[in-house]
Amino acid sequence: MKGNELTPTQVQNQPTNITWPVESATTLYTLIMTDPDAPSRKNPTRREFLHWLVINIPGNDISRGETITSYIGSGAPKDTGLHRYVFLLYKQSKKLTTTHPKASNRSAEGRPKFSTRKFAKDHKLGNPVGGNFFQAQYDDYVPKLHEQLKPKNGTAKRN
């Protein structure tokens, strides 16, 4: 990745090849992916938009971590230019519990206006131990993602 431009179509599925050096297979980590440019770099009023949050990852086996917010790929609205999609990795000193609302890949709950800095501070994560990012802008997959995240009953509030 390292800042490469990818399309929403290319990143619509959860990555399966994220790895990092670990102290041991039992060391726990938190992985956060956000878009700090929501809805655009010029007008980031929904900054940060949470795309993925997994805590209590043993070693670098994400599948064994606790998914709080399921992965969704990039969803830059039309005509908003490039967005950055940032991955930050934190080493945990102990197993975490969180009150952040759980969200499936069909829910926007808890995603807009997420603060990585506040989450890290509240959970005593310290500074990130790793990070990466890619950039993406609108393509034909984005309307499908936005439709997937819309409340179905019309009663959910928007942040």
Q: Given this model, what pLDDT does residue 158 score?
A: 40
Q: What are the strands of the beta sheet with 66-69, ordered from one edge? A: 66-69, 49-58, 28-35, 83-91, 130-136
Give the tens place of pLDDT for each residue, 64-95.
999 999 999 999 999 999 999 999 999 999 99
| Domain ranges, ordered by start, for the chain | 28-147
Please provide the average confidence, as pLDDT, over all residues in the chain. Answer: 93
Percent of the residues in the chain that have a pLDDT greater than 90, as a whole number: 89
Residue 159 has pLDDT above 50, yes or no: no
CA distance 1 to 4: 5
**Cα angle vertex 14, ends 99, 111, to 5°?**
35
pTM of the model as a whole: 0.93
Q: Which CATH number fits domain 28-147: 3.40.190.80, 2.40.40.20, 3.20.20.70, 3.90.280.10?
A: 3.90.280.10
For residue 35, which of 125, 127, 149, 152 has the smallest C-alpha distance? 149
With contact defined as beta carbons under 8 Å apart, do 158 and 146 qualify?
no
Give the tens place of pLDDT for each residue, 22-43.
989 899 999 999 999 999 999 9
Residue 55 has pLDDT above 70, yes or no: yes
Centre a 10 Å sphere on the Cβ of residue 14 and count the other Cβ atoms it contains.
Answer: 17
Q: Given this model, what pLDDT does residue 2 score?
A: 81
Percent of the residues in the chain that have a pLDDT greater than 70, as a whole number: 95
Distances from the Cα of 48 to the Cαs of 12, 97, 148, in angstroms?
A: 19, 21, 19
